[in-house]
Amino acid sequence: MIAVDTNVLVYAHRRDSEWHEAASRCVKALAEAAAPWALPWPCLHEFLAIVTHPRIYQPASTLAQALMQINCWCESPTLVLLGESDVHLPTLEKLLVDGQTTGPRIHDARVAAICIQHGVSELWTADRDFTRYPALATRNPLVSPVTES
């Protein structure tokens, strides 16, 4: 199962992003495929915080626009929403210690732990910080295009 990180979601939503077309194609391909795909809840929360932030985007997306986008993704019958499980703390702790993770990178470790817990085979992200967590395969679908089957 492929999971999608915040930055790909933001680019797919924001038409003013230079990566919009590529990101939109990637998310659409996942949403329309027969295979399950995933969105970690922390990525959806971060998506909302970023696209509605007036210091990041001018104009920022309205809350209604951002929520509508999430609802559209949630209409995909193959979407799986991922959250923390009973083994989250030990999984997170191992990632934090092994990756010597502190400060703002804790968020990425949380996303990685959730993906690992749920058996995600690959996280699509443009964030190279996830390489700290070799237990989670990552790919930047914006520079390594996804071939449609």
Cα–Cα distance measured from residue 58 to residue 104, given in angstroms and rounded to the nearest whole number: 24
pLDDT tier for residue 146 given thresholds of 50, 70 and 90: low
Enumerate the domain spans of the chain.
Answer: 2-139
pLDDT in tens, 19-51: 999 999 999 999 999 999 999 999 999 999 999
SS3 track for the chain: CEEECHHHHHHHHCCCCCCHHHHHHHHHHHHHCCCCEEEEHHHHHHHHHHHCCCCCCCCCCCHHHHHHHHHHHHCCCCEEEECCCCCHHHHHHHHHHHCCCCHHHHHHHHHHHHHHHCCCCEEECCCHHHHHCCCCCEECCCCCCCCCC
Q: Which fold has domain 2-139?
A: Rossmann fold (3.40.50)
Cis peptide before 134 (omega within 30 of 0): no
pLDDT tens-digit map of 7-16 = 999 999 999 9
Q: What is the pTM assigned to this prediction?
A: 0.93
Q: Report how far residue 72's alpha carbon sits from residue 81's, in angstroms, rounded to the nearest whole number.
A: 13
- pLDDT on residue 147: 54
- Determine the Cα–Cα distance for residues 105 and 121; give it in Å rounded to an integer: 21
